[in-house]
Structure 1
Amino acid sequence: MASLLPTFFSHDYLLLLLLLLFAFVLPSRCSHATQKEYLSSHHTVDVRSLLPTNSCSSSKALHEGYYEQRLNIVHQHGPCSPLHRKKNLSHKQILNNDQSRVDWIHRRISSSTSKQQDKLRDSLDSATIPARSGRSLSTGNYIVSIGIGTPKRDFSVLFDTGSDVTWIQCKPCVSYCYPQQEPLFDPLQSSTYANISCGSPYCSQLNSYGCSGSGCLYSVQYGDNSYTVGFFAQDSLTLTPSNVIPNFRFGCGEKNRGLFGRAAGLLGLGGDTTSLVSQAYQKYGGVFAYCIPPTTSSTGYLAFGGSSPTTNVQYTPMLTDTDTPTFYFLNLVAIIVGGQKLSISPTVFSTAGTIIDSGTVITRLPPDAYSALRSAFQRKMSGYKSASAFSILDTCYDFTGYNNVKIPTVALQFDGSVMANLDVSGILYVQSISQACLAFAGNSDPTDTAIFGNMQQKTFNVVYDLSKKVIGFSPGGC
Structure 2
Amino acid sequence: MAASLHFLLLLLLVSSFLYNFKVSQSHPSHPKQKGAIFHVTKDVTTLQYVTQIRHGIPVRPTSLVLDLGGPLLWLGCASDSDSSSSRTLISRSSIKCLSANPNIHKSKTTKCESFTQNRVNQVATQGDLAEDIIFVDGSQTKSLPLPFLFSCAPKLLMNDLAAGARGMLGLGRTRVSAASQVAAALGSKPQFILCLSSSNGVVLHDSGQYGSYFVVPGVSDSLTYTPLITKVDSPHEYFLNLKSIRVNGKQLALNYKEGLGGIKLSTVVPYSTMESSVYAVFVRAYDQAALAMNMTRVASVAPFGLCFGTQVGSRLPVVDLALQSEMVKWRIHGRNSMVQVMDKVKCLGFLDGGPEQKSSIVLGGHQMEDTLLHFDLSASMLGISSSKFMDQSTCSDLGLGFGFRESM
TM-score over 0.5 (shorter chain):
yes
Q: What one-letter code is carried by the residue in structure 1 that aligns with 2:192?
A: F
In the alignment, does 2:131 pair up with 1:234? yes
Aligned-pair CA distance for 1:380:
2.8
3-state SS of paired residue (2:79): coil
SS at match of 2:288: helix
Letter in 2 for 1:199: S
Structure 1 residues 405, 362: closer, same or farther in 2, change over 3 A? same
Q: Paired residues, what number?
A: 334
User: How much does 1:375 deviate?
Assistant: 2.1
Distance 2:168 2:106 in 1: 21
For 1:426-437, list aligned pairs within 5 A.
426-433=336-343, 435-437=345-347
2:228 counterpart of 1:318: yes
User: Which residues of 2 match residues 24-423 of structure 1 at below 5 A?
Assistant: 69-77=36-44, 88=45, 139-150=46-57, 152-170=59-77, 172=79, 185-188=82-85, 190=86, 193-204=87-98, 205-206=100-101, 214-222=110-118, 224=121, 226-227=123-124, 230-241=127-138, 242=141, 244=144, 246-257=146-157, 258-261=159-162, 262-282=164-184, 283-293=187-197, 295=198, 298-307=199-208, 308=214, 309-338=219-248, 340-345=249-254, 347=256, 351-382=260-291, 383-399=294-310, 402-416=311-325, 417-423=327-333
Q: Secondary structure at the match of 1:380?
A: helix
Which segment is superposed worse, 211-220 or 425-434?
211-220
Give a deviation string over 1:289-315, Cα, whole Å, max 9, x none.
11111x3xx211111133344121000
Distance 1:231 1:208 in 2: 13
Q: Please say which structure displays the higher CA radius of gyration.
A: 1
SS in 2 for 1:311: helix
Q: Relative to structure 2, which stretch is displaced further, 284-293 or 439-448?
A: 439-448
Q: Distance in 2 between matches of 1:171 and 1:471?
A: 36
Q: Which amino acid is the alignment partner of residue 364 of structure 2?
A: G
CA contact (8 A) 1:144 1:157 kept: yes
Residue identity matched to 1:354: I
- How far residue 348 of structure 1 moved from its aligned partner, in angstroms, is 6.2
Q: CA 1:367/1:169 → structure 2, altered by over 3 Å: closer, same or farther?
A: closer
- Percent of aligned pairs with the same residue? 22
Give, in angstroms, the shift of residue 368 of structure 1: 4.2
Secondary structure of 2:93's aligned partner: coil
Aligned equivalents of 1:422 and 1:390: distance in 2?
A: 22
CA deviations 1:25-49 (Å, max 9, x no partner) are: xxxxxxxxxxxxxxxxxxxxxxxxx
Question: What are the superposed Cα offsets for residues 92-125 of structure 1, whole Å, 9 maximum, x if unpaired?
Answer: xxxxxxxxxxxxxxxxxxxxxxxxxxxxxxxxxx
Counterparts of residues 447-462 of structure 1 (less than 5 Å): 448-449=358-359, 450-462=361-373
Q: Note the C-alpha offset of 1:286.
A: 1.1
Quote the Cα distance in structure 2 between the aligned partners of 1:303 and 1:341: 36
Q: Give the AA of the match of 2:301.
A: F
Q: Which amino acid aligns with 2:307?
A: C
Residues 224 and 328 in structure 2, CA contact (< 8 A), matched pair in contact too:
yes
The CA distance in 1 between the partners of 2:257 and 2:231, in whole Å, is 19
Distance in 1 between residues matched to 2:233 and 2:124, nearest whole Å: 22
Let me know the Cα RMSD of the aligned residues: 3.0
Q: What CA distance in whole angstroms lies between the structure 1 residues aligned with 2:205 and 2:73? A: 16
Change in CA separation of 1:375 and 1:463 when aligned onto 2, cut-off 3 Å: same
Task: Using the TM superposition, give the Cα deviation of residue 288 of structure 1 relative to its aligned residue in structure 2, in angstroms.
Answer: 0.6
2-structure distance, mates of 1:73, 1:347 = 35
From the superposition, tell whether residues 225 and 357 of structure 1 become closer, same or farther in structure 2 (CA, over 3 Å). closer
Distance 1:69 1:172, change over 3 A: closer
Structure-2-length-normalised TM-score: 0.72
CA distance in 2, matches of 1:150, 1:448: 43
How has the CA–CA distance of structure 1 residues 253 and 187 changed in structure 2, closer, same or farther, with 3 Å as cutoff? farther
Question: Equivalents in 2 of 1:439, 1:447: separation in Å?
Answer: 17
In structure 1, stretches of 5+ residues that fail to align are 1-65, 78-87, 89-138, 174-183
> Structure 1 length as normaliser, TM-score?
0.62
Distance 1:231 1:395, change over 3 A: same
Give the counterpart letter for 2:295 in structure 1: Y
